[in-house]
């Protein structure tokens, strides 16, 4: 066995061992585009509302210094997580950057485990050791939560390589921002992923700013999806304020990728309503610009469709609002009552491979 093969097998054993237990409700393994039904709208509404209310609460708690460290809110971008999760199979791997609370919740990590993670408590989804930027759940095939800008582009391709190597039939999706799209790692990864026909969907969540730097200031190439065309990768822009369009685009890309034809690139155009992180005065954009996106709010769009098409009543909407409020309140109580990790746990769950093949002293 050569070193590369050895590395891949060990990586797989540790990180992405084929799921055997509980998956989030809904999807079974399928290869076609999942049909959007009345239930899909109802699930989208609940998922997006939970993400929104959870993060509004997290923002408040950060202001009260109950949550420390970094905290990047996803508010405004929820149609991407909701539409992607509904379009994929539970066994597919999803990896993203540090703006990860929405994806964690959408994939089914409980609000309790998410809030406890923000509090750094031992009951958190990474035992309180990862915090806001490093949500992770092997059980939910949510593979982080990564703080190094753009690092998840090659790592996502690595996940896809493992799936292909192990012939699982699963695909990997890796998401990154418009700022990360300017990293050299993107080009190397696109090139290798195309050469090896890896089952990966690359997704640029273009929220128009990398911290305070607009897309226009980072490159003359403003249509980020065109970067994929240089590698003959099927590449498309998608309206990320519309969950239905996200679902359909991801479903189409997943079907293509799963069939063995190789990678796909989606540039999903979206907007974050809040600052980059908690200490951003947002001087680089106007209130009118923010308002123009809020006018197309994805949650309001879905709420209107549900009522207009009579998929559910106003009373149902109110019951979900109450349920979400209760879940978020319960998560805060849970997090506050949970224990901090013990000092003795510091060296637990640290990646160590004693026979690591590259380092020998
Ligand atoms: C390699 C690296 N360089 C710089 C940073 C600091 N940094 C954190 S977030 C960020 C902006 C990234 O913006 P984008 O990729 O558009 O994602 P968004 O925050 O908009 O979701 C930068 C430069 C980092 N974390 N990692």
Q: Quick check: is 148 in a domain? A: yes
201: helix, strand or coil: strand
7-13: long-range pairs with CB below 8 Å, 24+: 7/357, 8/161, 8/162, 8/165, 9/165, 10/353, 11/158, 11/162, 12/162, 12/165, 12/166
In this prediction, residue 29 carries a pLDDT of: 58
3-state secondary structure of 62: helix
Nearest CA residue ID for atom 8, ligand 1: 149
For residue 308, tell me if it sits in a domain.
yes
Rounded Cα gap, residues 133 and 116, in angstroms: 13
Instruction: Give the count of beta carbons closer than 10 Å to the beta carbon of residue 214.
Output: 13
Element of type H or E holding 55: helix 38-63
Ligand 1 centre from 149 Cα, in Å? 5
How many domains is the chain built from? Answer: 1
Both tokens of 102, joined, read 């929405």
CA of 178 to the centre of ligand 1 (A): 9
Q: Is the CB of 148 under 6 A from ligand 1?
A: yes
Task: Provide the residue range defining the domain that includes 151.
Answer: 38-275+284-338
Give which of 172, 137, 143, 169 is closest to 157, Cα–Cα. Answer: 172
Instruction: Specify whether the CB–CB gap between 29 and 169 falls below 8 A.
Output: yes
On whether residue 20 sits in a domain, the answer given is no
Give me the pLDDT at residue 284, please.
97
CA distance linking residue 119 with residue 111, whole number of Å: 12
For residue 207 and ligand 1, the question of a CB distance below 6 A is answered with yes
In a domain, 200, yes or no: yes
**Nearest C-alpha neighbor of 172 from the set 133, 141, 218:** 141
Provide the CATH number for the domain around residue 165: 3.40.50.970
For the four alpha carbons of 57, 61, 64 and 68, in that order, the dihedral sign comes to: negative
* pLDDT tens, per residue, the chain with 361 residues: 444 344 344 433 443 333 333 344 434 456 789 999 999 999 999 999 999 999 999 999 999 999 999 999 999 999 999 999 999 999 999 999 999 999 999 999 999 999 999 999 999 999 999 999 999 999 999 999 999 999 999 999 999 999 999 999 999 999 999 999 999 999 999 999 999 999 999 999 999 999 999 999 999 999 999 999 999 999 999 999 999 999 999 999 999 999 999 999 999 999 999 999 998 999 999 999 999 999 999 999 999 999 999 999 999 999 999 999 999 999 999 999 999 999 998 888 887 777 776 655 5
Query: Is 349 contained in some domain?
Result: no
Whether 46 maps to a domain, the answer reads yes
Backbone angles phi, psi at 46, to 5 degrees: -65, -45
- With a 6 Å cutoff on the Cβ, whether 99 touches ligand 1 is yes
Q: Check residue 45 and give its pLDDT.
A: 98
Helices (H), 64-109: 78-87, 101-106
Q: Is the CB of 133 under 6 A from ligand 1?
A: no
Pocket test of ligand 1: the residue of 148, 179, 269 to mutate, having most ligand atoms within 8 Å of its CB, is 179
Asked if the structure places residue 344 within a domain, the reply is no
Instruction: Evaluate: CB of 182 within 6 angstroms of ligand 1.
Output: no
Nearest CA to ligand 1 atom 21: 177
Q: Cα separation of 124 and 60, whole Å?
A: 19
What's residue 351's pLDDT?
78
pLDDT of residue 349: 84
* Residues in a beta bridge with 173: 94, 201
CA of 68 to the centre of ligand 1 (A): 19
210 lines ligand 1 (CB under 6 A): yes
The enclosing H or E element of 174 equals strand 172-177
Our measurement of the distance from residue 230's CA atom to the centroid of its chain's CA atoms, rounded to an integer in Å, reads 26
Contact 79, 51 (CB under 8 A): no
Q: Does the residue 32 lie in any domain? A: no
Residue nearest to atom 20 of ligand 1 (CA): 210
Report field, pTM of the whole predicted structure over 0.85: yes
């Amino acid at each position: 066995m050569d070193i590369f093969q050895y590395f891949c097998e060990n990586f797989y054993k540790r990180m992405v061992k084929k799921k055997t237990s509980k998956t989030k409700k809904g999807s079974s393994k399928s290869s076609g585009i999942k049909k959007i039904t009345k239930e899909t709208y109802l699930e989208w509404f609940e998922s997006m509302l939970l993400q929104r209310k959870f993060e509004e609460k997290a923002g408040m708690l950060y202001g009260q210094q109950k949550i420390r460290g970094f905290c990047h809110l996803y508010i405004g971008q929820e149609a991407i997580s909701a539409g992607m999760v509904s379009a994929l199979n539970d066994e597919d791997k999803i990896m993203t950057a540090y703006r990860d609370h929405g994806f964690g919740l959408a994939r089914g990590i409980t609000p309790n485990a998410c809030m406890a993670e923000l509090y750094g408590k031992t009951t958190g989804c990474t035992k309180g050791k990862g915090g806001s930027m490093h949500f992770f759940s092997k059980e939910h095939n949510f593979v982080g939560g990564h703080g190094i800008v753009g690092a998840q582009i090659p790592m996502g391709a690595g996940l896809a390589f493992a799936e292909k190597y192990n012939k699982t039939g699963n695909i990997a999706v890796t998401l990154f921002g418009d700022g990360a799209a300017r990293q050299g790692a993107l080009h190397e990864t696109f090139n290798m992923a195309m050469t090896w026909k890896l089952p990966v969907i690359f997704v640029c969540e273009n929220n128009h700013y990398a911290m305070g730097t607009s897309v226009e200031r980072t490159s003359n190439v403003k249509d980020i999806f065109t970067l994929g065309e240089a590698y003959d990768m099927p590449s498309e822009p998608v309206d990320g304020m519309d969950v239905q369009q996200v679902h359909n685009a991801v479903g189409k890309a997943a079907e293509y990728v799963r069939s063995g034809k190789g990678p796909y690139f989606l540039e999903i155009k979206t907007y974050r309503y809040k600052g980059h992180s908690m200490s951003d005065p947002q001087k680089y954009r106007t209130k009118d610009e923010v308002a123009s996106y809020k006018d197309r709010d994805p949650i309001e769009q879905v709420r209107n469709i549900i009522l207009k098409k009579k998929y559910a009543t106003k009373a149902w909407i109110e019951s979900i609002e109450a349920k979400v409020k209760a879940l978020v309140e319960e998560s805060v109580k849970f997090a506050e009552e949970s224990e901090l990790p013990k000092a003795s746990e510091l060296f637990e769950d640290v990646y160590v491979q004693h026979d690591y093949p590259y380092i020998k002293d």
